[in-house]
């Protein structure tokens, strides 16, 4: 083993340490929502005792205790800031995190494994906000999210529409001519299908784009690349071989911001869901209400609900506080089943 090999190993260890420190701070911020005060002397003493006993070999107990005193001091500092927390699906570096940062740059971004975990954490009050993708110009509807929206009690309090630029990432110094397979989320792989075929790269599905980049950086397999964001490349120390590898020049994803209650202020767009029923022309009559009121519909999608029945999602411009919009909502509700406004909000286009 050479000096360079040892330094490479140290760099990898440092990366894991920083990642775990970040995760620990996120958990500390979340615990603030479940306790009355940031100071818990008994807990701190217990942690320091455990750390001291767990110190082994050349790691001295005094060093470990001092290190953890600094860690706990930083945890308390973050807790006292009263940060809002915002959940997103995936690992740090996910496109959802980028969209979340554009909406609430001062919030603490917390990764969630599944879309359902985002909804659950907001419903339980663990996160103040959540962000989920609802549609993509290439991949269409994000089915699992729209299905959950049918039954959640959460409110849509905002939306972010942002361009998605997929990057081919590899380990530093890797020879791109030796690449044989690519890890990424199934939607990202589908959006880059032509690029992968041209370069004879085998797609391998992962649960998340940034998760694929994180795994690549940790396991360091030969002949493997990942498709993820530029942010993921920066976080996990990967090299960008090529940017904008998606098959279409226009690739955008729209995200909804979720909260337990409506936020103050007037919205500029509304989202609603309803069932048209089995009467002939029922859907047309609902849509006709908005057309007659000169209200612009920006989204019309159907999602399977109960067997043989479809729920209809619509987005339309305007505020529910506007008398004409309010009247159209009332009329549409009378012509459909289960008409429900999911939120009236502002939308940010990046």
Mean predicted lDDT score pLDDT of the chain? 89
Q: What is the DSSP string of 319-334?
A: -TTSHHHHHHHHHHHH
**In the chain, what are the domains?**
3-80 (1.20.59.10), 85-162+255-349 (3.30.70.260), 167-245 (3.40.190.10)
pLDDT at 182 over 70: yes
List helix spans (H) across 204-277.
209-219, 230-236
Told to judge if 253 belongs to the known catalytic residues of this protein, a careful annotator would answer: yes
Average pLDDT over residues 81-98: 93
Q: What percent of the chain has pLDDT over 90?
A: 56
d(CA 43, CA 49): 10
Token pair, residue 246, equals: 């998606």
Q: What is the DSSP string of 123-172?
A: HTTS-SEEEEEEEETTTEE-HHHHHHHTT---EEEEEEEEE---EEEE-T
What is the pairing mode between strands 167-170 and 337-349? unpaired
Q: What pLDDT digit, counting tens, does each position of 234-255 carry? A: 999 999 999 999 998 888 999 9
Taking alpha carbons only, the member of 311, 310, 327 closest to residue 319 is 327
Told to judge if 255 belongs to the known catalytic residues of this protein, a careful annotator would answer: yes
Q: How confident is the model at residue 159 (pLDDT cuts 50, 70, 90)?
A: very high
Position 192 scores a pLDDT of 93
**Secondary structure of residue 225 in the 3-state scheme:** strand
pLDDT at 194 over 70: yes
Position 278 scores a pLDDT of 61
Taking alpha carbons only, the member of 263, 250, 108, 238 closest to residue 179 is 238
Among the listed residues 195, 253, 274, 313, the single catalytic one is: 253
pLDDT at 279 over 70: no
Q: What pLDDT digit, counting tens, does each position of 319-347 carry? A: 888 899 999 999 999 888 888 999 999 99
Position 168 scores a pLDDT of 97
d(CA 146, CA 303): 7
Among the listed residues 88, 115, 255, 290, the single catalytic one is: 255
Position 308 scores a pLDDT of 64
Q: How far is CA 127 from CA 29, 96, 210, in A?
A: 10, 15, 21
Is 213 within 8 Å of 238 (Cβ atoms)? yes
Is 107 within 8 Å of 86 (Cβ atoms)? yes
């Amino acid at each position: 083993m050479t000096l360079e090999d040892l330094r490479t190993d140290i760099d990898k260890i440092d990366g894991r340490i920083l990642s775990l420190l970040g995760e620990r701070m996120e958990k500390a911020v979340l615990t603030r929502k479940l306790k009355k005060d940031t100071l818990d002397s008994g807990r701190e003493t217990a942690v320091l005792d455990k750390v001291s006993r767990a110190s082994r070999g050349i790691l001295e107990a005094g060093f470990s205790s001092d290190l953890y005193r600094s860690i706990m001091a930083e945890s308390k500092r973050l807790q006292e800031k009263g940060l809002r927390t915002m959940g997103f699906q995936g690992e740090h570096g996910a496109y959802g995190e980028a969209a979340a940062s554009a909406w609430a740059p001062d919030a603490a971004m917390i990764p969630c494994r599944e879309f359902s975990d985002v909804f659950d954490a907001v419903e339980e009050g663990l996160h103040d906000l959540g962000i989920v993708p609802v549609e993509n110009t290439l991949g269409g509807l994000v089915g699992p999210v729209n299905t959950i929206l049918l039954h959640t009690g959460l409110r849509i309090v905002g939306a972010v529409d942002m361009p998605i630029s997929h990057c081919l990432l590899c380990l530093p110094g890797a020879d791109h001519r030796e690449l044989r397979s690519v890890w990424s989320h199934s939607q990202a792989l589908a959006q880059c299908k032509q690029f992968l075929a041209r370069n004879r790269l085998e797609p391998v599905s992962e649960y998340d784009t940034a998760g694929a980049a994180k795994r690549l950086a940790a396991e360091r397999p030969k002949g493997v690349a990942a498709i993820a964001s530029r942010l993921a490349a920066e976080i996990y120390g990967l090299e960008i071989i090529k940017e904008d590898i998606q098959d279409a020049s226009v690739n955008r994803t729209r995200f909804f911001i979720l909260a337990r209650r409506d936020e103050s202020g007037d919205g500029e767009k509304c989202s609603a869901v309803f069932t048209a029923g089995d009467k002939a022309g029922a859907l047309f009559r609902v849509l006709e209400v908005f057309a007659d009121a000169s209200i612009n519909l920006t989204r019309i999608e159907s999602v399977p609900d109960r067997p043989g029945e479809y729920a209809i999602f619509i987005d339309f411009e305007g505020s529910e506080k506007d008398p004409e919009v309010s009247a159209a909502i009332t009329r549409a509700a009378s012509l459909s089943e289960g008409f429900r406004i999911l939120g009236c909000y502002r939308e940010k286009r990046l």
